Chains A and B, each alone.
Chain A
Amino acid sequence: MNFRIAYIIARDEWRYWLRSRLSVAALVAASILIVAALISTITQVQTERTTRENFQAEAINTFESQPARHPHRMIHYGHYVFRTPAPLSVIDLGVDAAAGTVMFLEGHRQNSAVFTPNYSSANAGQLAELSPAFAYQVLTPLLLIILGFASISRERESATETLLYSISVAPLELWMGKIIALSGAALMSLLPLSLGLGLAISAGEHAGVAAYMLSGYALYLLTWVFIITAVSSSCQASSTALTLLLAGWIFFCIVISPVASGIASTGGAYEGKVVSDIAVQQALRGSGDGHNEADPAFDQFKMQLLQQYNVESIESLPINIRGMISKNAEEKQTQILNRFSDRRMEAARTQSRIVYWFGLLSPALALKNFSMNVAGTSLSEYQRFQHQAENVRFDFVQRLNNLHAEQLSYSDDINRSKDHQSEQRTRISPVHWKMLQPVAHHEDNEQERVSESLPHFIMLFFWCVFGAIWSVTRATRGAANAA
């Protein structure tokens, strides 16, 4: 193959676009849309980040500045964690709009993350999302279709195809020229994405992960370039090519996603939190009330402690039995709570896995799943947030229980309702309240994100290879038609 010829054909194609009002209009409109999407998403993410980080700082601050108190009161006072957006959410907001932003952490309970951004947003229909991810997944293919649907069929309609072949241009050179031309447009359109990725890198994202994300988008657009050229070279008329391509675009980019979610959710595997909460309540029955040291559920634990410290009565224990019981109960309860929340999260993942398989039916869905997972705006990342929040919760509750067991005398603790002096002594100093663990940052789990997005990357790769093979076969066979 002579690449110089291919390049000349590509240059000619670019010149043709610049002369066509339609192509110029599409190019300008698409550029404006992508840039607008990027700018609006960056602003949105920045505002959200500032708001949530401020709330988080306020939550930590109010907890730490609480006055001297009984430690168990602090367990019920509780703490809040806010979910902050990942650096790459400037490209792909992913599940952010539909996932809770704040979670209340307290003893004896696991609450859900509440106040999704969608809760109070103005409803504008299902397609009203202007993020760069949406622009690349849905709008850019449309631009490529407009530019490329006639790339080969046009030559055929105006009989220039045969002319080209007669001056010893090989069909594959013609095909390569068109591919170069269209890939050039795709490459241009990736510029704003690179800018956004650069911004994410400066916000702490790993450069390798950003490059990986860029290559996923590039593969996706290249897939479209192949598909468009394949269809264009299999059709005798440009209008047929356009109709087929638009039908493909509607199927891949508009129809498949809601079909996949509909099938995944009507499977009924995932029941949600209310169902799970009732099951938890049933499982917890009889596990003992940690506030009540006389609860027979703790008899065995009490015996154990007496033996361990080799004393006769709970009064002579060197530690406060109430704190120990509270700690023991929290641990048992948390095991049960985690069992149910793990089950619930697994059910949600099963649902998502069904959706992931639909990536085989649509490169757009494969890219969406890839992009979300690598950006850290996927279900997995949301569940990691839930796990971390639970760790923060369990950690501070047990630290407070330890303080309860070690810093408070048992006699003060049981007399605090009757005796003011004892009550004062059960209030421990606020210096202890500086105990909250921070929630880890998104940048720290790049390995998980890369491995979770890898199956989707492979799917995209297969789509691209499939497109390339199809396109090459069509180009050579199409040439036979023309001659």
Chain B
Amino acid sequence: MLHELRRELNHALKEPALRWLVLIAFSLSTIALLIGALTISHQKDMVLRLEAAVTAERLLTIKDKTDPGDIAYNLFHLTFDPPTDLAFMALGQRNERPWLHRLRMLALEGQIHETNDSNPEILILGQLDFTFFLSVLVPLIIISLLFDIEGRERREGRYELICAASPLGSRVFHIRAAVKSLLLTAAIILPFIAAAISNNLTILAFLSVLGLIFFQIVLWVIFCRIVTCIIPEAVTAALSLVTLWLLLTVLTPIIGKTAVENSLPVPNGGTILLTQRETVNAAWDLPKETTMDAFIHIYPEWKAQATINRPFEWKWYYAFQEMGDQAAQPKSWALYQGMTDRHEAMALVALLSPALFIERAMTELAGTDVLQHLRYVRCARAFHADLRHFYYPYLFNEKAMSENDLAQLPEFEPCAI
């Protein structure tokens, strides 16, 4: 057995096709990890620079100001979703869905849906991160590596001879496939190990990704073995395998996506925006008591200070901003619920598509899927609420803000996964 292994290893190493494929796998794995690492370090760097810029802006904005309404109107705060340690392996939805906002105390529904306006042409081309490499490209490399193992020997007329010469019989080709796959696995995993060490991945994260890599490789090696055993002719086997890849990687997800989206409609963003604007703007024309009564219903503690005597008072202004949010929020939550439902429904599709399964597992581990986006949005909304609750005592007691008061301003803390 050991002898067979050594012989197959020597044999494989001499094969130019295998050398090329292993080299390609190694380079793609490295490039994918590098692109991911560069993207994430760019994002981290951007957060740091923005934090500094926002702090500098804050000092200039609050200079000589004491009116809490005025300060709250002008002061922007940065909220963001910092990339996890594993994000470089699965960039996921980070570019598609905003992970960075500049918020102030105005109605949140008018701000939270703002985007960073990424270049859509770049977005639709996709990204070559490790997840794309593993879920889409690795199967193709495995197919190229394994489709011709028996077929070639048959064409050359050596098939029977090899089977007869080996104590394992025709099972010697399993050994050959295993040896080739192991070499490929090494080429894929080595760059990953280097990246894992330089990024200080936790053992758990490391083993989880390793598990997914093995899962994908073993699965496709099995597919290849089954197909090449059923279809002895190499060309037909190769085409069948590519068709299988197309079916599992492209068609199943598309059909699943179409079905899921049709069965789980979500509210259109346009409705959220229009509702929010109508309620916020209508408040200018409403009797001020109507707004304040609704406000006091939620915040009874400000009942005594809720009478508005002048034509414009900040507390009334911020009260109707929040009332506008209250009106639009159910629609936003329905949208978020719809997105969650769609994500969960796609789990069923992922059972039929290894590529989608890998992508979902990787983005979940890396915290770059839609659920993490929604977690971040909840976090940013909670911060906005903190901000309001911080200012309300100043606004309702009409108390000027001192430097000490401003030092107490809530700071955004990213929520842990």
Q: Residues on A close to B: CB < 8 A?
A: 22, 26, 29, 33, 40, 51-52, 55, 58-59, 62, 67, 69, 73, 76-78, 80, 82, 94-95, 97-102, 104, 111-116, 118-130, 139, 142, 146, 149-150, 237-239, 242-243, 246-247, 250, 254-255, 257-266, 268, 270-275, 277-278, 281-282, 285, 344, 348, 351-352, 355, 372, 378-379, 382, 416-418, 423
Flag if B270 contacts A82 (CB, 8 Å).
Answer: yes
Nearest chain A CB to B119's CB is how many angstroms away?
Answer: 4
* A98-B120, A270-B119 as given contacts; A278 in contact with B270, CB under 8 Å: no
**B121 part of interface (Cβ distance < 8 Å):** yes
Residues of chain B lying within 8 A (CB to CB) of residue A265: 39, 95, 119, 122, 127
Which 8 residue pairs of A and B lie closest in terms of their CB atoms, listed nearest first?
A115-B269, A95-B120, A261-B125, A124-B253, A258-B128, A126-B126, A272-B116, A124-B257
Chain B residue contacts of A254, Cβ below 8 A: 136-137, 140
List of B residues within 8 angstroms of A416 by Cβ? 311
Report the Cα distance A474→B274, complex, angstroms: 63
Question: Can you list 25 A-B contacts (CB < 8 A)?
Answer: A51-B268, A95-B124, A98-B118, A98-B124, A112-B116, A115-B268, A115-B270, A120-B338, A124-B257, A128-B257, A130-B258, A142-B242, A258-B127, A262-B35, A262-B39, A262-B127, A265-B39, A268-B42, A270-B119, A274-B102, A278-B53, A285-B60, A351-B122, A355-B121, A379-B119
Q: Are B345 and A120 in contact (CB under 8 A)?
A: no
User: Would A417 and B311 be within 8 Å (CB), given that A274-B102, A379-B121 are in contact?
Assistant: yes
Other than the given A123-B359, A277-B102, 20 more pairs (CB < 8 A) read A29-B243, A33-B251, A52-B270, A97-B124, A98-B120, A102-B273, A114-B114, A120-B266, A122-B260, A122-B261, A123-B360, A125-B249, A129-B254, A242-B238, A243-B148, A258-B128, A270-B122, A281-B57, A285-B60, A351-B122
A272 touching B120, Cβ below 8 Å = no
Which secondary structure dominates chain A's binding surface?
A: helix
Q: Report B-chain residues with C-beta under 8 Å of the C-beta of A150.
A: 235
Note all chain B residues with C-beta closer than 8 A to A351: 119, 121-122
- A130 to B125, Cβ gap below 8 A? no
With contacts A123-B370, A150-B235 taken as known, whether A266 is within 8 angstroms of B35 at the C-beta atoms is: yes
> Does B119 contact A352, Cβ atoms closer than 8 Å?
yes
Q: Please give the number of chain B residues whose Cβ is less than 8 angstroms from any Cβ of chain A in the complex.
A: 97
Q: Which residue of A lies closest to B360 (CB)?
A: A123
Q: For A271, what are the chain B residues with a Cβ–Cβ distance below 8 Å?
A: 46
B277–A104 CB distance below 8 A? yes
Question: Which residues in A have their C-beta under 8 angstroms from that of B50?
Answer: 274-275, 278
With a cutoff of 8 Å between Cβ atoms, the chain B residues found around residue A82 in the complex are 270
Min CB–CB distance B136 → chain A (angstroms): 6
Q: How far is the CB of B324 from chain A (nearest CB, A)?
A: 13
B257 touches A67 (CB 8 A): no
Compute how far the CA of A243 lies from the CA of B127 in the bound complex, rounded to whole angstroms.
25
If the complex has contacts A95-B124, A238-B235, A266-B35, are A124 and B140 also in contact, measured as CB distance less than 8 A? no
Is B278 interfacial (CB 8 A cutoff)?
yes
Q: How far is the CA of A98 from the CA of B249 in the complex (A)?
A: 21
Q: Is the CB of B96 within 8 A of A124?
A: no
Q: In the complex, how many angstroms separate the beta carbon of B111 from the nearest chain A beta carbon?
A: 9
Q: Are B96 and A119 in contact (CB under 8 A)?
A: yes
Residues of B within 8 A of A114 (CB): 113-115, 269, 273
Contact of B270 among A98, A102, A126, A270 (CB under 8 A): A102
CB neighbors of A among B316-371 (8 A):
335, 338-339, 342-343, 345-346, 349, 353, 355-356, 359-360, 369-370
Q: Which residues of B contact A259 (CB under 8 A)?
A: 31, 128
From A40, A126, A262, A423, give the contact of B136 (CB < 8 A): A126
Contact of A77 among B42, B127, B140, B281 (CB under 8 A): B281
A122, A139, A149, A423: residue with the most chain B Cβ atoms closer than 10 Å: A122
Mark each residue of chain B from 296 to 311: 1 if its CB lies under 8 Å from any CB of chain A, else 0. 0000000000000011
Docked CA distance A258–B131 (Å): 12
> Which listed residue (A111, A146, A272, A273) contacts B239, Cβ 8 A?
A146
Expressed in whole angstroms, the minimum distance between the Cβ of B130 and any Cβ of chain A is: 12
Would you call B126 and A112 a contact (CB within 8 A)? Answer: no
CB < 8 Å neighbour of B269 from A101, A129, A382: A101
Partner of B234, one of A26, A115, A239: A239
Residues of chain A within 8 A of B102, CB atoms compared: 274, 277-278
Q: Would B238 and A243 count as touching, CB distance under 8 A? A: yes
Decide if B249 touches A127 in the complex (CB within 8 Å): yes
B254 touches A128 (CB 8 A): yes
User: B residues within 8 A CB of A124?
Assistant: 253-254, 256-257, 346, 349, 356
Q: Counting chain B CB atoms within 10 Å of each CB, which of A67, A78, A257, A278 scores highest?
A: A278
Interface: B216 (CB within 8 A):
no
Bound CA span A132–B202, Å: 44
CA distance A303 to B328 in the complex (A): 46
